[in-house]
A and B are shown apart, each in its own frame.
Chain A
Amino acid sequence: MSWSLVFHAIEQGLVFGLMALGVYITFQVLDFPDLSVDGSFPLGGAITAKIIFSGGHPLVAIFWAIIGGLLAGGLTAFFHTRLKFTNLLSGILTMTLLYSINLRIMGKSNIPLLGKITILDNIKSLFPSLTMDQLTPLLFLFIVLLVKSLLDYFLSTEIGMAIRATGDNEQMILSLGVDTKITKIIGLCLSNGLVALSGSLFAQYSGFADVGMGIGTIVAGLASVIIGRSIIKNGNIVWMTTSVIIGSIIYRATVMIALRYGYHFGFQPGDLKLISVVLVVIALTFPLVRGRVKAIVMSNDSSSSEKEQ
Chain B
Amino acid sequence: MLRLRSVYKCFARGTSYEVNALTGINLKIAEGDFVTVIGSNGAGKSTLLNIISGTMLPDKGMIRIDHQDVTKKAEHCRAKYIGRVFQDPLMGTAPSMTIEENLVLSIKRYGRGLRLGLNNKRREFFRNKLAELELGLENMLSKKVALLSGGQRQALTILMATMFDPKLLLLDEHTASLDPGISKKIQTITQEIVKEKKLTTIMVTHNMQEALRLGKRTIMMDRGRIILDISGKERENVTIDYLLKQFAKLRKEEYIEDELVLA
Across-interface contacts of B97 in A (CB, < 8 A):
161, 164-165, 168
B95 located at the interface, meaning its Cβ lies under 8 Å from any Cβ of chain A in the complex: yes
Across-interface contacts of A262 in B (CB, < 8 A):
none
Across-interface contacts of A133 in B (CB, < 8 A):
none
B235 located at the interface, meaning its Cβ lies under 8 Å from any Cβ of chain A in the complex: no
Residue in B74, B76, B93, B116 whose Cβ sees the most chain A Cβ within 10 Å: B76
Q: Name B65-92 residues within 8 Å CB distance of A.
A: 74-77, 79-80, 82, 84, 91-92
Q: Are A172 and B92 in touch, CB under 8 angstroms?
A: yes
Q: Are B112 and A158 in touch, CB under 8 angstroms?
A: yes
Task: Select one of A161, A162, A171, A176 contacting B91, CB under 8 A.
Answer: A171
Across-interface contacts of A165 in B (CB, < 8 A):
94, 97, 105
| A158 CA / B101 CA spacing, docked (Å) | 9
Across-interface contacts of A177 in B (CB, < 8 A):
76-77, 79-80, 108-110
Nearest to B94 among chain A residues (CB) is A168
Q: Name A105-160 residues within 8 Å CB distance of B.
A: 153-154, 156-160
Nearest to A28 among chain B residues (CB) is B96
Residue in A162, A171, A175 whose Cβ sees the most chain B Cβ within 10 Å: A175
Could you tell me the distance in whole angstroms from the C-beta of B2 to the nearest C-beta in chain A? 17
| A157 CA / B105 CA spacing, docked (Å) | 10
Known: A162-B105, A169-B94. A175 touches B79 (CB 8 A): yes
Q: Are B75 and A157 in touch, CB under 8 angstroms?
A: no
Nearest to A29 among chain B residues (CB) is B96
**Taking chain B's interface residues, is the majority helix, strand, or loop, or is none over half, making it mixed?**
loop
Q: Name B114-165 residues within 8 Å CB distance of A.
A: 114-118, 144, 160
B106 located at the interface, meaning its Cβ lies under 8 Å from any Cβ of chain A in the complex: yes
Q: Are A176 and B104 in touch, CB under 8 angstroms?
A: no
Q: Are B144 and A235 in touch, CB under 8 angstroms?
A: yes
| A165 CA / B74 CA spacing, docked (Å) | 18
B53 located at the interface, meaning its Cβ lies under 8 Å from any Cβ of chain A in the complex: yes
Q: Are A156 and B91 in touch, CB under 8 angstroms?
A: no
Task: Select one of B76, B79, B109, B114 contacting A159, CB under 8 A.
Answer: B114
| A54 CA / B190 CA spacing, docked (Å) | 67
| A153 CA / B115 CA spacing, docked (Å) | 9
Known: A172-B91, A175-B79, A176-B79. A158 touches B113 (CB 8 A): yes
Task: Select one of A156, A159, A171, A175 contacting B118, CB under 8 A.
Answer: A156
Known: A159-B113, A164-B97, A172-B92. A178 touches B76 (CB 8 A): yes
Known: A174-B76, A176-B160, A177-B79. A162 touches B95 (CB 8 A): no
Could you tell me the distance in whole angstroms from the C-beta of B74 to the nearest C-beta in chain A? 8
Residue in A161, A162, A171 whose Cβ sees the most chain B Cβ within 10 Å: A161
| A193 CA / B109 CA spacing, docked (Å) | 28
Could you tell me the distance in whole angstroms from the C-beta of B123 to the nearest C-beta in chain A? 13
Could you tell me the distance in whole angstroms from the C-beta of A65 to the nearest C-beta in chain B? 24
| A19 CA / B55 CA spacing, docked (Å) | 36
Across-interface contacts of A156 in B (CB, < 8 A):
116-118
Q: Name A233-251 residues within 8 Å CB distance of B.
A: 235
| A173 CA / B113 CA spacing, docked (Å) | 15
Q: Are A161 and B101 in touch, CB under 8 angstroms?
A: yes
Q: Which residues of A contact B (CB under 8 A)?
A: 153-154, 156-162, 164-165, 168-169, 171-180, 235
Q: A158-B112, A158-B114, A169-B95 are in contact. List 17 more A-B contacts (CB 8 A).
A: A154-B114, A157-B114, A158-B115, A159-B113, A161-B117, A162-B105, A168-B97, A169-B91, A172-B94, A173-B105, A174-B55, A174-B79, A175-B75, A177-B77, A178-B76, A235-B96, A235-B144
> What are 12 pairs between A and B in contact, CB < 8 Å?
A157-B113, A157-B116, A158-B115, A160-B117, A162-B105, A164-B94, A169-B95, A172-B91, A173-B105, A176-B105, A177-B108, A179-B74
Q: Which 3 A-B pairs have the closest CB atoms?
A: A177-B79, A177-B109, A158-B112
